[in-house]
Structure 1
Amino acid sequence: MAKRTPPNPNPHYEFLGPPGAFGMVTVLPLITYALYFNCRAGVGCIPGNGWTLDQGVWPQIPPLSSFSSYPQLLLDFFKSAWDPEAFLVYSAFVVYLFVCYFIIPGDIVEGTVVGGVGGSPLTKDRSQHRLKYKINALRTLMLTTLLIIATLYVQGATAFVFLYDHFLGLITASLIWTYGVSLFVYIWSFLPDQDGQEKILSIGGNTGNKLYDFVLGRELNPRFTTRPDSTFDIKYFIELRPGLIGWIIMNFGMACHQYITLGGRVTNSMILVLIFETFYVVDSLWNESAVLTTMDITTDGFGFMLANGLLTWVPMNYCIQARYLAIFPIDMTLSHTLLVIGTQCIGYWIFRGANGQKDKFRRYGADAPQNKGLKYMETASGSKLLISGWWGTARHVNYFGDWLMALAWSLPCGFESPLPYFYPIYFAVLLLHRERRDEEKCRNKYGKDWDKYCAQVRWRIIPYVY
C-alpha cells in the first residue's frame, strides 16, 4: 500500500476557511428552506403577494433568549419536513440516473490533465494522468423525456403535481442525499485505491482540517472500477445529471400545477421560463464533454460544497421562477415578452459565441482554418492566449452572456417580489468569485505573461464596465 500523502503544511484557505465551511454546512440548507417558506401559496412571496413576517421566514422562531428550545425546534421541523413518499421518489430518481449511466451507450472521451496531489512512486505523478469519461447525459435526458410523455398520455398532468405538493419533502430528501454522499466520499478518500495505491487528492481539500476538507472535497475524482475496462466517476456523474435533469423535471411539475389550477392552460410567462431553462440544460448536455475542462472537474475536490450544489441547490433553488409562476400566474404583455426574448437571445449569443470560439481554438489549434483571423499571444509555458474576437473584449466575457440568460429567466416573473431574482443575484456573486479564482490560477500559471495579457485585454467580464 502506498504511503498516505500528508496534509498541506501551509494550506491556502478559500471561502473564509473553516468558519466558512461551517457556514456552508449549516446555512446553505437553511437558505433552500427559507426560499420555500418565503414563497408559497397562502403566505405570498417576500415582500409582496400578501407575504407577512409572522408567516414567512421560518415557522415559529423563538427569540434568541430561548436558545435552549432550538434543538427541539429543529427536531420538530425535521419531522414536519420529512416526507417518506418524497424521499422514495427522489431516491428512485437518483437510482434511475445511475442505471441509465451504465445501460445507455455513450462515447468514452479523455479529459484534460487533472490537478491533484499524491500518487505512487511506481506511476510517477498520477496527478498528471488524463481520466476517461462516458458521455451519455443527453441520451439520458431523451429517455427521460419519452418516459414523461408516456406518463402524461396514461395519467395526465396530475401525475406530476406531486412535485409541487411535496416540494418541502423533496428538499429534505435531496439534503439527506447531499450529506450522505458527502460523508461517503470523505471516508472513501482515506481508503486505498482499488489497485492498492493512494487516491489522487485535491490541492485545496487536503488541509488536515476535517470540516474544511469535508466541505471542499478531499479527493479530486472519487471513482471506482466497475469492470476491467470501465470506471464510475462519482463527481462527474453528479456534475450534470441529478441537478440539471432534476431542475427541468421540477420545472415541469410546477407547470403542471399551473395547468390544472388555471383550468387547462399555461401562461406565456411559464412557457418562456420552461423553454429557456430547458434549452440551457439541453445545450449543456449537448456539450457535455466541455465540462471536463472546468475547475469543478480538473481542480476542485468533491465534497459537501459540490454535492449540495448539484443534488439540492440546482434542482430545488433554480426552479424558483417556475414555482413562483405556479403560485402567482402572470400573463405578459407583448413588450414584456419581447424584453425577455431579447435579453435571452443576446445572452446566448455572447455565451455560446465565446465558448464556441474558445473550444475551436483549443480543439483545432491556432493555425486551423476555423480560427483564421484570430490573434493570440504566446506564453513562456507554451500556451496561447486569445486576444481578439470575443476573448479580446473581456477575459471572461462568457460569464456576462451566462448572467444575461439568468436574468432573462427571472424577468417573466415581473417585479412584485425580488425572490424570483434569487438566481441571477446569487449567480452574479458566484461568477465574480469564480472570476477571481480563475485570475489567481492564471497568474500563478503564466506569471508575467498574464500581466501582459491583462494589459491587452483590460476588462474582466463586461466590456467597458468591469
Structure 2
Amino acid sequence: MGQATEATKRAVVNPRTTEFEFGGRIGALGVTLLVPFFTYWLNLACTPQTGCLLGHKILDLRTLWNSTKLFSLEACYVYLGWYMYLVLCWLVLPGRWIDGTVLRDGTRLSYKINAFSTLMCTVSLAALVYVRWGDSPFLYVVNHYAELITASLIMSISQAVYCYWCSFQPGRILALGGNSGNVIYDWFIGRELNPRIASFDIKTFNEMRPGLILWALLDFCWVLKQVHEFGKPSNSILLAFIFQFWYVFDAEYNEDIIFTQMDITTDGFGFMLSVGDLTWVPFTYSLQLAYLSFVPLHLSNFELVLVLTVQLVGYGIFRISNEEKNAFRRRSENPKVHGNQKGYEAFDLWLVGPVKASKLLGGLDYGVGMVFAYGNLHPNHILLRDLFCHPIDA
C-alpha cells in the first residue's frame, strides 16, 4: 500500500511527458548533431582564407576539416581550467542568496547571486594578464579556436550525461517536457528540472557564467587579434565589442531576473541547454568579431551615429520589456503590473493563443512582438542581434 502511494505521489509530481518538441526523438537527434556541426562550420568557414563568403571555399568541407586541428589535450586543460575558475569564483566571491519560484512539490530552491562580481573579477584578471604578458595568452585562444570548441563540446556532453544519470535518483523533480521515457529525447531536452551538487545549481550556473563571460572574453581576443595584425583596432570592431560586452554586462548585473524565465522555471537541463550555454553562445555569438578581426572596416561619423541610435532604442525596449515581464511573473505589488494582470493574460490569449508552462505579458512593446514570434525571436532580440552586425555591413 505504501509503495503504491509513493508511486502515485511521484506520478503527480513528475507526470509522464506526452507532448514533444523538436519533432520528438528524430528532431532531438538531428539538433544534437547539427549544433556542433554548424558551430565548427561557421568558425572554420570564416577565416582570412575563406573570407566568410558563400562560395566554393566554404562548401569544400573536406579541405576545411583536414586543414584544422580539432582536438588537443592542452586545449581541454585550458577549458577545464576556465570552468573550474568560474566554479571557484562562485564559491569564494560574496553574493546574496535568493529564493527561486515555488516548485511543484511546494518547495523553493536558493540561488547565490554573484555572476556580476565574477564578470568584474574576470575583466580585472584579463587586464592584469594583458599588462604582464601582452597579447600572447589571448592570441593562443584565437589560434586554437577549433580545439577549444571541441573541449566545450566534451564538457557539454559530459554534463548532459551526468545530469541524465542523476535524474533517476529518488526525490528528483523532473521537467514536464523531459520525462518521456525515451533516452535520446530526455537526454537532449533535459530530464531533471534543477540538477544540483549540494547548493551548486548546474543549470543557472551555466546559464550565466561559462558561456556569457566567455563570449565577452573571446570578443576581446578577436580585438587583440586585429591589433596584432593591423597595428590598431578599427572603430567597427570596437563598436561591436562594446555592444556585445554591454549585453553581457547587463545580463550579469540583472542576474536575479533569470529565475522567473522559462529556461529556469520550466525547462530541464540536458544537452540542449548545456551545448547552448557552453558552446553555441560563446563560439558563434563572437563570430562578428572574428570576421572584423581580419576585415578592419572603418565607419563614417554618420554611420556611427546611426548605429548608436539603433543600439540605444533597441536596448531601451529590450530592458523595459524584460523588467516588466519579470515584475509580472513575480506578481509584483506594482499597481501597473499587478492591477492589470487579468487584462494582460486576456490580451496574451487573444494575441498568441495559450502558451503552456510560461506566463506571457501582453504589454504594448512585448505584446506586439508576440505577433511575429515567441521566445528568442522577439523583435527586440532580433533588433539587438542585427545591430551587432551593423558595424560589419554598414
Q: Is residue 332 of structure 1 aligned with residue 332 of structure 2?
A: no
Could you tell me which residue of structure 1 aligns to residue 391 of structure 2?
412
Contact 1:15/1:21 (8 A) holds in 2: yes
CA offset at residue 224 of structure 1? 2.5
Could you tell me which residue of structure 1 aligns to residue 342 of structure 2?
377
CA offset at residue 83 of structure 1? 2.2
Could you tell me which residue of structure 2 aligns to residue 461 of structure 1?
none
Partner SS state of residue 39, structure 1? coil
For the aligned residues, what is the CA RMSD? 2.8
Moved more, 353-362 or 301-310: 353-362
Could you tell me which residue of structure 1 aligns to residue 212 of structure 2?
244
Could you tell me which residue of structure 2 aligns to residue 29 of structure 1?
36
Letter in 1 for 2:56: L
Q: Is residue 352 of structure 1 aligned with residue 319 of structure 2?
A: yes
CA offset at residue 182 of structure 1? 0.8
Distance of 2:149 and 2:338 partners within structure 1: 50
Question: CA separation of 1:10/1:158 partners in 2, compared to 1, >3 Å: closer, same or farther?
Answer: closer
CA offset at residue 392 of structure 1? 6.2
Contact 2:331/2:337 (8 A) holds in 1: no
Per-residue CA deviations over 1:237-259 (Å, capped at 9, x if unaligned) read 11110010010010010001001
Q: Is residue 223 of structure 1 aligned with residue 196 of structure 2?
A: yes
Could you tell me which residue of structure 2 aligns to residue 156 of structure 1?
134
Partner SS state of residue 134, structure 1? strand
Could you tell me which residue of structure 2 aligns to residue 143 of structure 1?
121
Letter in 1 for 2:384: M
Could you tell me which residue of structure 2 aligns to residue 178 of structure 1?
156
CA offset at residue 389 of structure 1? 5.7
Could you tell me which residue of structure 1 aligns to residue 179 of structure 2?
206
Contact 1:377/1:387 (8 A) holds in 2: no
Distance of 2:161 and 2:375 partners within structure 1: 37
Distance of 1:363 and 1:258 partners within structure 2: 48
Distance of 1:183 and 1:375 partners within structure 2: 44
Contact 2:17/2:176 (8 A) holds in 1: no
Could you tell me which residue of structure 2 aligns to residue 316 of structure 1?
283
Could you tell me which residue of structure 2 aligns to residue 286 of structure 1?
253
Could you tell me which residue of structure 2 aligns to residue 40 of structure 1?
47
Contact 2:113/2:255 (8 A) holds in 1: yes
- Bigger helix share: 2
Partner SS state of residue 22, structure 2? coil
Contact 1:391/1:397 (8 A) holds in 2: no
Per-residue CA deviations over 1:150-184 (Å, capped at 9, x if unaligned) read 11111112321111111111111111111111111
Could you tell me which residue of structure 2 aligns to residue 129 of structure 1?
107
Partner SS state of residue 330, structure 1? coil
Percent same amino acid at aligned positions? Answer: 37
Select the structure of larger CA radius of gyration.
1
Question: CA separation of 1:327/1:181 partners in 2, compared to 1, >3 Å: closer, same or farther?
Answer: same
Could you tell me which residue of structure 2 aligns to residue 431 of structure 1?
none
Distance of 1:274 and 1:323 partners within structure 2: 11
Partner SS state of residue 311, structure 2? helix
Could you tell me which residue of structure 1 aligns to residue 72 of structure 2?
83
Question: CA separation of 1:394/1:405 partners in 2, compared to 1, >3 Å: closer, same or farther?
Answer: closer
Contact 2:98/2:110 (8 A) holds in 1: yes
Could you tell me which residue of structure 1 aligns to residue 22 of structure 2?
15
CA offset at residue 336 of structure 1? 2.2
Moved more, 38-47 or 284-293: 38-47
Please report the TM-score for the alignment, with normalisation by the length of structure 2. Answer: 0.86
Partner SS state of residue 15, structure 1? coil
Per-residue CA deviations over 1:410-450 (Å, capped at 9, x if unaligned) read 111117xxxxxxxxxxxxxxxxxxxxxxxxxxxxxxxxxxx
Q: Is residue 109 of structure 1 aligned with residue 98 of structure 2?
A: yes
Could you tell me which residue of structure 2 aligns to residue 453 of structure 1?
none
Distance of 1:256 and 1:165 partners within structure 2: 12
Q: Which has the higher contact order (CA 8 A, sep 6+)?
A: 2
Please report the TM-score for the alignment, with normalisation by the length of structure 1. Answer: 0.73
Moved more, 349-358 or 265-274: 349-358
Q: Is residue 307 of structure 1 aligned with residue 274 of structure 2?
A: yes
- Bigger strand share: 1
Contact 1:347/1:403 (8 A) holds in 2: no
CA offset at residue 294 of structure 1? 0.7
For structure 1, the 5+ residue unaligned runs are 62-72, 115-124, 193-197, 226-230, 416-466
Letter in 1 for 2:392: C
Question: CA separation of 1:184/1:360 partners in 2, compared to 1, >3 Å: closer, same or farther?
Answer: closer
Distance of 1:145 and 1:82 partners within structure 2: 27
Contact 1:375/1:388 (8 A) holds in 2: no
Could you tell me which residue of structure 2 aligns to residue 342 of structure 1?
309
Distance of 2:57 and 2:325 partners within structure 1: 51
Question: CA separation of 1:15/1:154 partners in 2, compared to 1, >3 Å: closer, same or farther?
Answer: same
Distance of 1:18 and 1:397 partners within structure 2: 22
Per-residue CA deviations over 1:49-95 (Å, capped at 9, x if unaligned) read xxx4146452249xxxxxxxxxxx9xx89x93112222111111000
Distance of 1:404 and 1:138 partners within structure 2: 25
Distance of 2:315 and 2:228 partners within structure 1: 32
Contact 1:346/1:401 (8 A) holds in 2: no
CA offset at residue 5 of structure 1? 4.6
For structure 2, the 5+ residue unaligned runs are 347-357
Contact 1:341/1:408 (8 A) holds in 2: no
Aligned length: 370
Contact 1:43/1:56 (8 A) holds in 2: no
Distance of 1:10 and 1:215 partners within structure 2: 14
Partner SS state of residue 203, structure 1? coil
Contact 2:100/2:260 (8 A) holds in 1: yes
CA offset at residue 46 of structure 1? 2.1
Letter in 1 for 2:100: G
Q: Is residue 275 of structure 1 aligned with residue 242 of structure 2?
A: yes
